[in-house]
Amino acid sequence: MTTTAPAGLDFSIPPHLQPILERVRAFVTQDALPAEQRIADPADVLASWDVVEALRDRARERGIYTPHLPEQWGGLGVGVLGMALISQECGASPLASLGLNAMAPDEGNMHTLLIAGDEGQLETWLRPLAEGRTRSCFAMTEPDVASSDPTNLGTTAVRDGDEWVLNGRKWCITGADGAAFAIVVAKTDDDATKGHRNYSLIIVPTDTPGWRIVRHPQWLGSDVPGGHPEIALQDVRVPIGNLLGGEGEGFAIAQRRLAGGRLAHAMRWIGVAQRALDLSAKRLLERRAFGKELARHQGLQFMLADSAMDLYASRLMVLHTAWKVEHGMPHRQEVAMTKTFVSEAFGRIADRAVQMHGAAGIAMDLPIAGIYADARAARIYDGASEVHRMVMAREVLKLAAAGESTRQACGDVG
């Protein structure tokens, strides 16, 4: 039996990524996981931000800081596939990605600026963000419309001389409290024939008059630095030069951002789900019921097996999709399938973990309950599962209507 991978199909870790992954694993186990004990209140990481700063210093020392950025911006330039592997490791601790400065929304905003920013915008906004001197947010979702359809968004940006004047409301804006700036999705035209081409991205410094945090709703799932507040924009004036990309290109740029963002979330979910399974297996080996270890009860063994299968399928989907993105191949269908499947697999794994832990699974001061809450939210943000299923089905039907096999819409590998 040969141990050599078939030509053109290689599941080994690329040699240049192997030492990076080893350093990331060491960072997670030796730095990030122990640092969780030094966070005074997990619901308010900003109150213990010195812990995050110390982790970032350790990441710099280990040579793994901002791995997602190109080398000229202080990163490692590992690409989408490399970040898929790194993020799976970081998912084991909520502090790991923060420590690498590779956590949403900042990671996504860095990519967005690289995609569409001009030289001045990169120096003004990306440089301090990459160096960890500022935080940011991405303001898209709104409270009064179904934001899964971006053509519903009501926030407007009207040109007045050499300024944009923004008015509207946003909510569930991750990281907004304390962010230095927001990338705001706003309606810059009102032509019914243009659809999503009415929308643009505009950089708004959060100290601009008229930008106001209205309230901090309580959300299901983990808290992040800066929360997920509701924002009011009232006659917010910013320079015309704060337009990111071209006018009417907001949706196209956001789609490029969200493809990577959805994958990044899926990568981290795999790491969190793996931690839930590890904790569950350990518990089953340590506890006894009805005269034997829990691990010897077949019903619980089946739960472990089902979670292992979910993780295996999730890893393969993420890595294949990342590979397609990195090689410039069509990937919209694969991103939709990956985001949907992995978010739902995460939920199944978390649910089984709760059951295997019993009362400890619903204790909010222990990790499993928090993982469970995070898993439920995963099916909502960055596109609800139902919306992604609409995208998937549309592609299947398009091929069928053309008299072709639907294979290309099913993650075809060749």
Question: How distant, in Å, are the alpha carbons of 27, 263, 378 from that of 383?
Answer: 31, 12, 9
Residue 227 sits in a domain whose CATH number is 2.40.110.10
For the beta carbon of residue 329, count every other beta carbon within 10 angstroms.
10
Question: How distant, in Å, are the alpha carbons of 55, 180, 193, 338 from that of 50?
Answer: 9, 18, 50, 35
Domain span at 25: 18-103
Q: Which amino acid does the sequence have at 317?
A: M
Residue with tokens 């993020």: 87
What the block records as the tokens of 344 is 């739902």
> Do residues 232 and 260 both lie within one domain?
no
DSSP E strand boundaries for 199-269 = 199-205, 211-215, 230-239, 243-244
Asked if residue 414 is part of any domain, the answer here is: no
Asked if residue 168 is part of any domain, the answer here is: yes
Crossing angle of the two packed helices 332-357 and 367-377, in degrees rounded to 10: 150
Asked if residue 276 is part of any domain, the answer here is: yes
Q: Is this structure's pTM higher than 0.85?
A: yes
> Do residues 258 and 385 both lie within one domain?
yes
The CA distance from 136 to 14, in Å, is 32
Asked if residue 108 is part of any domain, the answer here is: no
What the block records as the tokens of 91 is 């998912």
Domain boundary among 248, 265, 287: 248
Domain boundary among 55, 80, 103: 103
Residue 377 sits in a domain whose CATH number is 1.20.140.10
> Do residues 272 and 400 both lie within one domain?
yes
Assess contact for 383 and 362: CB atoms under 8 A. Answer: no
The CA distance from 150 to 231, in Å, is 18
pLDDT of residue 414: 65
Asked if residue 387 is part of any domain, the answer here is: yes
Asked if residue 79 is part of any domain, the answer here is: yes
Domain boundary among 194, 219, 248: 248
User: pLDDT truncated to tens, each residue of the chain (414 aa)?
Assistant: 344 444 566 778 889 999 999 999 999 999 999 999 999 888 789 989 999 999 999 999 999 999 999 999 999 999 888 998 999 899 889 899 999 999 989 999 999 999 999 999 999 999 999 999 999 999 999 999 988 888 899 999 999 999 999 999 999 999 999 999 999 999 999 988 898 899 999 999 999 999 999 999 989 887 789 999 999 999 999 999 999 999 999 999 988 877 777 888 898 999 999 999 999 999 999 999 999 999 999 999 999 999 999 999 999 999 999 989 888 888 999 999 999 999 999 999 999 999 999 999 999 888 999 999 999 999 998 889 999 999 999 999 999 999 999 999 999 876
> Do residues 231 and 269 both lie within one domain?
no
Residue 52 sits in a domain whose CATH number is 1.10.540.10
Start-to-end CA distance of the chain, whole Å, equals 25
> Do residues 216 and 293 both lie within one domain?
no
> Do residues 175 and 279 both lie within one domain?
no
The CA distance from 205 to 239, in Å, is 11
R_g of the chain, CA atoms, integer Å? 22
> Do residues 260 and 397 both lie within one domain?
yes
> Do residues 147 and 191 both lie within one domain?
yes
Tally of domains within the chain:
3
Asked if residue 128 is part of any domain, the answer here is: no
pLDDT of residue 3: 42
- Comparing CA positions, the residue from 339, 347, 364, 379 lying closest to residue 276 is 347
> Do residues 141 and 168 both lie within one domain?
yes
> Do residues 289 and 380 both lie within one domain?
yes
> Do residues 260 and 243 both lie within one domain?
no
> Do residues 238 and 296 both lie within one domain?
no
Asked if residue 130 is part of any domain, the answer here is: no
